[in-house]
Amino acid sequence: MTILPHERVLVGIDTTDCDKAMKIATAVTGSVGGVKLGKEFFVSNGPEGVRRVTAGGAPLFLDLKWHDIPNTVAGAVRASLPLKPMIVNVHASGGPAMMKAAAEAAAAAGEDRPMVIGVTVLTSMAEDDLAAVGMDTDMPGQVVRLALLAKNCGLDGVVCSPKEIRMVKEACGPDFKCIVPGIRPVWAAANDQKRIATPAQAVADGADYIVIGRPIAAADDPAAAARKVADELKPA
């Protein structure tokens, strides 16, 4: 399936205000590939809040990064299915049994099955952060290790930083999805992301979807900002 340039853009909406999230989602629907709702929003508003935000038809990346025992994660995936997410995710460091359980639970949705994506290393982390939590490998090595593990467990792809896209594609193949946060247009601030790239750079390197939060969601005109990003991705 061909992904149009604007469909590669997922807007991260990080707020506890459901009305604000609805307003952003309504503004960008049709101009991007979907919206990402995470823990901050979900804890505050629950599944009903998610339904309200996506009622206008915005595809959903439910970014809850599950990491627990296999049975609990499988139950969480099953509980998410009525929300009809396009993407759900788990921490790949949760291990093979957990990832396999997540993939099997998602398969219960049949044709409406969401993509199950493994989180490799958070884009807020740097090499010294890996060492601090006891990892004895460098960043690229850890990301590729977890990506291969995710693929072998039946996941559809991984979340990785822009710096690791090419390595993941080389190791796991072109059909293994890369969903890439840490994306900042040239006109936006880096904020707390450490391993970043522009939208065009990330897609050129092989990103299937790029996640952009504040540069779109916090803009005075989110729809215009979304279109500006999408325009960067159109062929010259």
**pLDDT tens string 34-67:** 999 999 999 999 999 999 999 999 999 999 999 9
Helix, strand counts (H, E) of the chain: 10, 8
Percent of the chain with pLDDT over 70: 94
Q: Please report the pLDDT score of residue 188 as a whole number.
A: 62
Q: Which entry of 20, 65, 100, 194 is annotated as an active-site residue? A: 65
Alpha carbon 134 to its chain centroid, in Å, reads: 25
pLDDT at 161 over 80: yes
36 is known as an active-site residue: no
> For the chain, what are the domain ranges?
5-225
Residue at token pair 């590669």: 8
pLDDT at 104 over 60: yes
Q: For residue 130, what are the contacts with CB-CB under 8 A and spacing of at least 6?
A: 121, 137, 138, 139, 142
Average pLDDT, the chain: 91
Q: Please report the pLDDT score of residue 215 as a whole number.
A: 92
Confidence of residue 131 (pLDDT cuts 50, 70, 90): low
Least confident of 15-19, 159-163, 195-199: 195-199
Q: Please report the pLDDT score of residue 132 as a whole number.
A: 78
Mean pLDDT (whole number) for 121-125: 73
Mean pLDDT (whole number) for 154-183: 95
Architecture of 5-225 per CATH?
Alpha-Beta Barrel (3.20)
pLDDT at 195 over 80: no
| CA–CA distance, 125 with 161 (Å, rounded to integer) | 10
pLDDT at 192 over 60: no
Cα torsion 127, 133, 138, 139: sign: negative
Q: What is the pTM of this model?
A: 0.92
